[in-house]
Structure formats: C-alpha cells, structure tokens
A and B are shown apart, each in its own frame.
Chain A
Amino acid sequence: MQKRTIPVEFEELKSSGTLPSPAGVGIQILEITRTDEFSADDMSHAIMSDSSLTGRILELANSADRAGQEPITTVSAALMRLGATTVRNLALAFSIISERDDAACKAFNYPQYWSGSLARAVAAKALSSHVRGVSAEEAYVAGLLAEVGVLALATVHSEQYAKVLLETRGMPMSAALSAENEVFNIDRATIAYCMMLDWGLPVGFAEAVENFNLERLFSEGEGRLGSLSDLLRFADAISSAMLLTATTPSRRIKEVGDQLALLQQVLGYTDKETQELFSAVSTEWRHWGERLDIATYEVSFKSVLGGIARGRQAFEKEQSLPAGGGLRCESVVAENIVTTEDVVEDGREFGAEKIKVLAVDDEPVALRLLVTTLRTQGFDVTFAKNGSEAMKVAMREGPDIIVADQEMPEMSGLELTRALRRSKRGSSMYIVLLTGAREEDLLVEAFESGVDDFVQKPFDAQFLTARLRAGMRIVGLQRRIEEDRRTILRQLADKNNFNRRLQTLSLTDLLTEVPNRRHAMERIEAEWKSSTRSGSQFSVIMIDIDKFKGVNDGFGHDVGDAVLKATAQAIKATLRGEDQVARFGGEEFLIIARGARVAEATDLAERVRVVVEENVVEAEGFCGCVSLSLGVASVEQGYASASEMMRAADQAVYQAKTLGRNQVCTARGDLLRVEVDPEHRKTA
C-alpha cells in the first residue's frame, strides 16, 4: 500500500506542539521503533521501566479469549504471543491515554470523549473474532484511537473548534467534516490518518480509521463484517448506545438503534446473545475504566433498549412536523460537547486559585496530621495512602504540589517521583519529600530523580507551609511560561491557517472560483521545471469564449458573469483529476493538463468544446449556449521556454477564431506555422 503525502495542514497542527501525543516511555518506544529492524529486547526494556504500562499490556494480553493458553506474566512473553508491532501499538495507545490533558478546549467534553473511546475499544475487541485477520488487541487500539482527529482539533484549535462543534451539533457527520475543512482546511479523518502514520502504525490500519471517520455507518448492502473499518462502525454503535444521554439528538439515537439491529442480523445473533455481548462489553468497560482512570458507569441493556425506543418515537414525531421533514438520516456528530452553561461554570472554577496539594504517606497517623496541617494552611488537599494510589490521583487531579513520605513500602517517595517525572502532567508538579533524620545521603540521588525540595520529619507546620509557598512561586512562574508558550503556538497555528486562506484567496478568481492567472502562471513555471528535470509531459489548452462581448453588450454584465461562471464549472467538470483550469483573463481560460501529450490534450480540448457547446446557461433574460475556441500546445513539441509554449497556444486560439470559431486548433511547435487539425475542424 502506498503512503499518501502528508498535507501541510497536518504538519502545521503538529508544529503547534499541542497535538495529543505519547510521552515518556511512549516517546522512547516511538524512537526505538522508528526503523523496521528494531530490537524486541530494547522495546521490552522500555516498557518494563513503566510498571503501570507493563501491567496494562499483560492484562490485555491475558484478557482476550485464548482458550487453553497459559496466562502470560512477562513483557517478553507478550511480545512472543502478540507480536512486537501489536505490543508497541498498545503501549503507544496507553501512553497517549495517560498523557491526556483535559483542559485545553473548554467546549469539548473530554471525559465523555475518553469514556466513549474506551467503550468503542472494548466493543471492537469483543467483535474482533468476527473479522478475519484482525486481532483482539489491534481492534482495541483502533477503537481507542478511532476519533483521535477530533481530539487533535479540540486540543490545537480549541476556541475555533469549540465554535465548529457548537454549530454542527446534531448535524450529519458529513456537515461536521465539511465545516472542519472549511475552517481548518483539514478534517478529522485526514488528521487521524496522518497521526496514525506519524506514530508508525501500519498504513492499512490508518486507512481503516480514516474510512470509519468518513463514513460512520455500516451499510446494509455489505451483509457481513469484512474489514477493520466495519468493525469500528459496529463498535461505535455499541459504545454510542452505552453513552446515550438525554441530550443525544433523536436522529442519532435512531441511527444507533438501526445499526445495532443490523449488527444482530449480520452476526446472526438471537436477542439473548446480543444481550450477552452487550453485558460482556459493559462489564469490561467498567473494568478498564478503573484501570485507566476513565469514567464509566453501570449500563443495563434494558435501559439502553428503552432509550432507543424513546429516541425513535421522538425522531418520528420530529419527522412528522413540517419543519423537521426531509431530514436525511445520516450519521450525526457525536455529543462530545459541553453546553454553554457548563463552560461558564468551568470558567468559575478556573478562576479560583486555591493551590492543590496531594499528600502521600502510608502511615495513617502521619497522613492525617499532614492533611490537617495543609488544610489549616489553606491548601486544597487530596491524599493517597501509597505510591501507586498517589500516581493515580496525581494523574486524575493534577495537583500543583505533592508532599510525599520517602519511606513507604512497595513504592518509595523517590520511586513515585521518578514515575511522575516520566509523564507529561507529572513533569511540572512541585514535589516535596518528607524524610527522616538520617537520610541526607539520599539528597543527591533524589535531586537527580527530580525531587524539588525536602522537609525533615517531624515537620513544623509553619516551616512546611513556608517551603510550599516558596515552591508555589516557582510553579506559578513555570505555569505562566507554559501558558504563554501555548498561547503563542495556538496563535501561530491560527495565523498559519489565516495566511493559507489569504493565499488561497489571492490565487483564486472570485467570480468563477477557479484559480486565477497568477496561480496558473506559477503552476506552469513549476510544471515546466519538473518537465525539464525529469522529462515529464504536460500540455496547455488556451480557451476563449466566442462572441462574449455580444453577451455582455446585449444582456448586461450580470448575464456575462453568469456565463463565465457556468462555463468555468462546465470545463472543470470535464477535467481529469490531474488537470487544472484557471481563469486567465476576461473571457479566457487555461487548462494545464499534466502528463498529457499533444494527442491526449487535443482530445481533452475537444471534449471540453462539446460539453460547453451543449451546456445551457440560464440567467435573467438569457437562455442559451456559448461556444469556445481552443488552442493546444504541448511540451512534446519542443519549445524553448514556457512562455514560448504559451504564445504558441495563444496563436492556435487565434487560428481557431479565424477559421470560424467553436473548434480546437493545435500548435505545431513552430510559432509561424500554426496549422489546423482537420479532424477537429468545425464551423461555427
């Protein structure tokens, strides 16, 4: 399979530095696996340096239905059983989840996004046995990352995308895609595709995810589950059913209901089997939610069915209303948005600047004292009773400061620090270790591991607070720098986007909406260069509308404009994918035909001539057709320069005019000897 060119719009998103991305071990794994011949040993070492990641991979490797197989307990065994690529992709997916930052776009409902993604992943895994060549783990990763394009837009273009989300709320998926293209010149499907490739996932995988984003619904004609994208479609229906809320548009509910019915039919399941599938998925969803710190809740199949039935009723009611009539039942934009009221509430929370502290100690008495001391001093305190619990809370709550006891069984304060520093979120937290009297020898190692400060036990409340306040000044400064950096990067992304739109505008003819003369000249220069370099072929077709002045004079400029527009569109519709039409002057157009020799270009010109000749233009007081005179010149004819070739094409048009218009003439490579191709001669 051929990789496509990565569009510049994606490179711009990427350079914003805010795209969702793996960190820590995830980055290491990306580095290790950049080349095809990476060592599985290196990878398993990288994974094992992160114990929670190791745990998640082993758990997933063991949870798939592999009857009769021994459970595996080591990363290298997982590599053997699942293959290095699968393990790598799992590691990346988990690393992206643990790096999630849920605050970038206030209008985007991040918790719901992740709940939905996890449900889709679990559902995809459950369905994977029905698709040949798709492993359970692959399905899981695909489900988890399927809508990463939406996440990327929400994170990079937060404010602008918030508007797009609100405007397209409840509208068909195609509307969302075109709104994204309109505003950002790129959509969720392309972004997801590019991100997958960027992370080194296989092209087939990236294409499946892209396809799912372009078409969210399984179509009835298919009859069977044939591909990873179909698998994602059904998994999405299951996960959407699990996450139905009171605000889900009724159209979407009906759609989900239809998809589920289709799924049951495709799998040949009875109602009971479907219910079993559903409850298995929801049980696993809850389980993984706990492991990955993603919100889930109890869902019963019965309540989902009830919700769908109510949604259908509401939908039919809407349909019977005159205003709602004629709505097409396409996929509807997901409900990943927070309503405006929520945004305001969020803002209030952001304004309250209480410093969040996480207190960690395995000793109940010490922990209680620490918590009380900190609360008395006005901090907003959460606590954890050991290192791994602290890790979880830290990732969920994002405290500003962590005060941890050094001596804890299983995971010491130092080990906790190292684990935190490996993650993007944890890297900016201010970490204070509480140490005993005899632990000075620990200092060097601890500072190297990323500890910010020490306080000796037993601590004095005032002293501890003073140290924490000092730490907060540093955190505040860091945060301001980080905020500035983000603002600058966002502005840069916005500016790039704006500039590109300006550029597109400056290269587009406003009346006919095809490229203008400037754009055409740039393209011809570029084509000429590439043709002299590599010997590639291309031709130009110069076009002039016959007797256009008569239209303008007789019917007015408005009609003239309508004729120009209609002609441009008719020409455009006739072209092959690699050809381009531009408005070259008043009633002049130019076609650049890439790869075409004289003969092909002449044929193309003739096709255009016929199409326009038969294209009826209707405008105020005018109803009729116009004809074209066309002149063809080709690189093949051996011109010395691009401008010489253009002159030859011009001459050929002139020739066509003198021979009676409405015909194609081909230049013969010699400016003085423009001849008429007898086959294409036509009298006007």
Chain B
Amino acid sequence: MEFSQEEDGPMSQVHSSENGGGVVLDAAALDALAELGGEGSDFVQEVVSLFLTEAVMRVTEIREGLDRSEYERVLQAAHALKSSSASVGAVEFARCCGELEAHCRSGEDSKKVRPTGARAVAMYAEVQEALTALLRES
C-alpha cells in the first residue's frame, strides 16, 4: 500500500491509530459480532474476510475517485464502507468514511474531500492490518 504509514508489526491487543488517535478496532463491536454468530462458530472470521475482500475494491474506488476528481465514485464507496466497517468494529474508520461521504454530498465542503479522503485511505491500511492480525490469531 503506497499510503501505508504503519511500519511496525501488528499490535496484538490494543489497536491504536496514528491517524485518529482512537482505537482501530472496537472490542465491543467485535464482541457483539461474535455473540450474533453464536458460540463456537467462525462467524467473526467469515464477516471479517468478507469485509476485507469488499473493502479493497472500495478503497481503490476512493483513491481513483480522488485522483480523477470523480466525487460521485468516492461518495458511493465511502457510503458502503461506512456501514460495513462499523460492523467489524472499525469505528474510527467508519466515522471518517461518514465525514467523507458528507463532504462529497455537500458542494460547499468539496475542498475537504481530498484531505479527508487521503486520511480514510491511510486509516484503512491500519484497519486492514489489524483485521488481518485478528484473522491470523484465531
């Protein structure tokens, strides 16, 4: 990832972010997910894998949309990422995607699209790493 700023190895338990200051993955959301799947199931792994596959394409959409100033594409991708990332506990990233979507929607805030978009892309790298680690641990 060209935007990746994380050089260290995966952080095992505490997933803190360099971009938002908060945690990368919210344990409560992940617990809720595990609870939904029921005991002994690999439901969390399944959803996380689904998310990772999907998110790669969406983030690419955001990058390309930013490069070509095609904000509608950015908007669609941010909207989709907003809800799915919240489901896998990436709350900070979800919030960032929400802001990005809002900026794309309102014409006045178009100046903010670019920096927020770049931040989202950078944050995703952290999320990806944290989730991959999570998969590896289980």
Contact = CB atoms under 8 A, between A and B. Distances in A.
Q: Interface size for chain A: under 10, 10 to 19, 20 to 34, or 35 or more residues?
A: 10 to 19
Interface in A342-382: 363-366, 368-369, 372-373, 376
Interface string B7-47: 00000000000000000000000000100111000010011
Given A364-B50, A458-B86, A372 B79 contact: no
B98 to A, nearest CB: 9
Contacts of A461: 36
B127 interface: no
Contacts of A366: 83-84, 87
Contacts of B86: 458
A407 B47 contact: no
B80 interface: yes
Interface string B80-123: 10011011100000000000000000000000000000000000
Nearest to B52: A365
B124 to A, nearest CB: 14
A585 B99 CA distance: 97
Contacts of A363: 54, 80, 83-84
A436 interface: yes
B36 A458 contact: no
Main secondary structure of the interface of A (DSSP, over half): helix
Given A372-B37, A373-B36, A376-B36, A365 B87 contact: yes
Contact of A364 (B33, B43, B54, B76): B54
Interface string B32-72: 01001110000100110011011000000000000000000
Main secondary structure of the interface of B (DSSP, over half): helix
21 contacts: A363-B83, A365-B47, A365-B50, A365-B83, A365-B87, A366-B87, A368-B46, A368-B47, A369-B36, A369-B87, A372-B36, A372-B37, A373-B36, A376-B36, A376-B38, A407-B79, A409-B76, A436-B83, A458-B83, A458-B86, A458-B87
A287 interface: no
Contacts of A376: 36, 38
A407 B101 CA distance: 14
A365 B36 contact: no
A457 interface: yes
Interface residues of B, number: 19
A461 B33 CA distance: 11
Interface of A: 363-366, 368-369, 372-373, 376, 407, 409, 436, 457-458, 461
A365 B79 contact: no
B10 to A, nearest CB: 21
> What 10 pairs across the A-B complex have the smallest Cβ distances?
A365-B84, A364-B50, A365-B51, A365-B50, A364-B54, A369-B87, A363-B84, A365-B87, A368-B47, A363-B80
Given A407-B79, A457-B83, 18 more contacts: A363-B54, A364-B50, A364-B54, A365-B47, A365-B50, A365-B83, A366-B83, A366-B87, A369-B33, A369-B36, A373-B36, A376-B36, A376-B38, A409-B76, A436-B79, A458-B83, A458-B86, A458-B87
A248 to B, nearest CB: 46
A372 B50 CA distance: 14
User: Among the interface residues B46, B83, B87, which one has the most CB atoms of the partner chain A within 10 A?
Assistant: B83
Contacts of B84: 363-366
B51 to A, nearest CB: 5
Nearest to B105: A438
Nearest to A372: B36
Contacts of B36: 369, 372-373, 376, 461
B88 to A, nearest CB: 7
A440 to B, nearest CB: 15
A365 B43 contact: no
A366 B80 CA distance: 9
B54 A369 contact: no
A70 to B, nearest CB: 34
Contact of B88 (A365, A436, A457): A365
Contacts of B87: 365-366, 369, 458
Contacts of A364: 50, 53-54, 84
A154 B100 CA distance: 58
A372 B87 CA distance: 13
Nearest to A437: B98
Contacts of B76: 409
Nearest to B29: A458
Nearest to B86: A458
Contacts of B80: 363
A436 B75 CA distance: 14
Contacts of B50: 364-365, 368
A365 B54 CA distance: 8
Contact of B43 (A372, A407, A436): A372
Nearest to B54: A364
Nearest to B51: A365
A560 B50 CA distance: 90
A368 B17 CA distance: 27
B104 to A, nearest CB: 13
A436 B84 CA distance: 13
A360 to B, nearest CB: 15
B82 to A, nearest CB: 8
A97 B135 CA distance: 48
A325 B83 CA distance: 74
A461 B53 CA distance: 25
A218 B50 CA distance: 59
Nearest to B48: A365
Contacts of A457: 83
A457 B54 CA distance: 19
A271 B100 CA distance: 68
A465 to B, nearest CB: 12
A610 B79 CA distance: 95
A263 to B, nearest CB: 53
A342 to B, nearest CB: 36
B108 to A, nearest CB: 16
Nearest to B85: A365
Contacts of A372: 36-37, 43
A409 B84 CA distance: 16
Nearest to A376: B36
Contacts of B37: 372
A424 to B, nearest CB: 34
Contacts of B79: 407, 436
A355 B117 CA distance: 43
Contacts of B88: 365
A436 B80 CA distance: 11
A368 B88 CA distance: 12
A315 B87 CA distance: 65
Contacts of A458: 83, 86-87
User: Among the interface residues A372, A457, A461, which one has the most CB atoms of the partner chain B within 10 A?
Assistant: A372
Nearest to B84: A365
A407 B75 CA distance: 12
User: Among the interface residues A363, A368, A461, which one has the most CB atoms of the partner chain B within 10 A?
Assistant: A363
Nearest to A362: B80
A140 B54 CA distance: 44
Contacts of B53: 364
B47 A369 contact: yes
